[in-house]
Amino acid sequence: MATTRRYLDWNATAPLCAPARDAMMESLQLPSNASAVHAEGRAARAAVEKARRQVAALVGADAAHVTFTSGATEAANHVLTPEFRMGRAELSLGGLYVSAIEHPACREGGRFDRSRITEVPVTAEGTVDLDALAALLAAHDRDAGMPLVAVMLVNNETGIIQPVAQAAALAHAHGGMIVVDAVQAVGRVPVDIVALDADFMILSAHKIGGPKGAGALVAKGEVLMPKPLMTGGGQEKGHRSGTENVHAVVGFGAAAETMATDLSSRNAAIGALRERLESGMKKAAPDVMIHGEDAARVPNTTFFTLPGLKAETGQIAFDLEGIALSAGSACSSGKVGESYVLTAMGKDPALGALRISLGPETTADDVDQAVAAFAKIASRRRPAGQAA
């Protein structure tokens, strides 16, 4: 009998939700370029602008401050630059301060030279070290330009919620700006760009049930903006040239509107499933290590180490049992390596770790099958010191 597959890798990508699929199918009937001035073009433009409002509402932003991109990586490379414009005046930033647990899209520093990128450590609990950030910003050479801070709202591996509002306060107190990667946060915790006092926010469609190939850079205002990464025809108010991907943008908007509704009840249901998962795992293997267990986490993520089991071995073993999960961040073309997040938290990266991430369509049966697979895999581990 064929094994029933269970998809528990929602942090890597969420399956396309029905509202996004329906909206995209309808948009396929729009034949025109959204920049065209005729009736067909205006219809395409209206669809894009509706999506812009839907995405803005997800994070409490003004729709005029949403710039659509091809994804979060492009948005990160767009905003992480030493070259900004304040109106028509050019403004230079002197350095980038990026937390040690950022997604590689931000951790690589975008358009900053490596010599101008400083890594901000995190605590053993997996949150950015605010004291260290304050010290680094205090020592920043203001003559070189203002500082730019990059701190994610939710870590993609551990699910730990970061103290973004406090980091923003520090950045602003030292005359700088802050960029917040909210990719793993939207639809899982309330997100408000104004309340967080974030200058810029990075979003991705496919993490919330939208299509791959769509993302956004959301700004708190519109006076200060990064120098464009994509130049050409001047679309997106000149911030991101290129013909708009109407179908992907429409799907993004529909997914954003869907995930903005019933957040508390959805979180309660998913949180109960994660509690069921983690309780079952602890019963099957009391020595399982759940990273960030005592920290504030989004309700869908479990990042764990099973002593005696290498991450790559575990990922294959779960896959053979019909369970789709990740070994940390699924962003490196299928590579399974040591977790830099564990390293940043002061843990031995050789431990390896696996990530189970749940979603709105996850069922109790999915979780029970994952626990059964976990118990089976745990039972055939080699003794400590002889990792499989």
Of 166, 353, 21, nearest to 149 by C-alpha is 166
Distances in whole angstroms, Cα of residue 83 to Cα of each of 90, 148, 166, 183, 244: 7, 11, 25, 24, 24
Q: Mapped to the 3 state alphabet, what secondary structure does the chain carry? A: CCCCCEECECCCCCCCCHHHHHHHHHHCCCCCCCCCCCHHHHHHHHHHHHHHHHHHHHCCCCHHHEEEECCHHHHHHHHCCCEEEECCEEEEEEEEEEECCCCHHHHCCCCCCHHHEEEECECCCCCECHHHHHHHHHCCCHHHCEEEEECCCECCCCCEECCHHHHHHHHHHCCCEEEEECCCCCCCCCCCHHHHCCCEEEEECCCCCCCCCCEEEEECCCCEEECCCCCCCCCHHHCCCCCCCHHHHHHHHHHHHHHCCCHHHHHHHHHHHHHHHHHHHHHHCCCCEECCCCCCECCCEEEEECCCCCHHHHHHHHHHCCEECECCCCCCCCCCCCCHHHHHCCCCHHHCCEEEECCCCCCHHHHHHHHHHHHHHHHCCCCCCCCC
CA distance linking residue 242 with residue 106, whole number of Å: 23
Answer yes or no: 17 catalytic.
no
**Which residue among the candidates 230, 269, 331, 387 is catalytic per the annotation?**
331
List phi, psi (to 5°) of 172. -70, -35
CA distance linking residue 177 with residue 56, whole number of Å: 20
Of 351, 346, 9, 57, nearest to 193 by C-alpha is 57
User: Can you give the C-alpha Rg of the chain in angstroms?
Assistant: 21
Catalytic residue IDs: 331
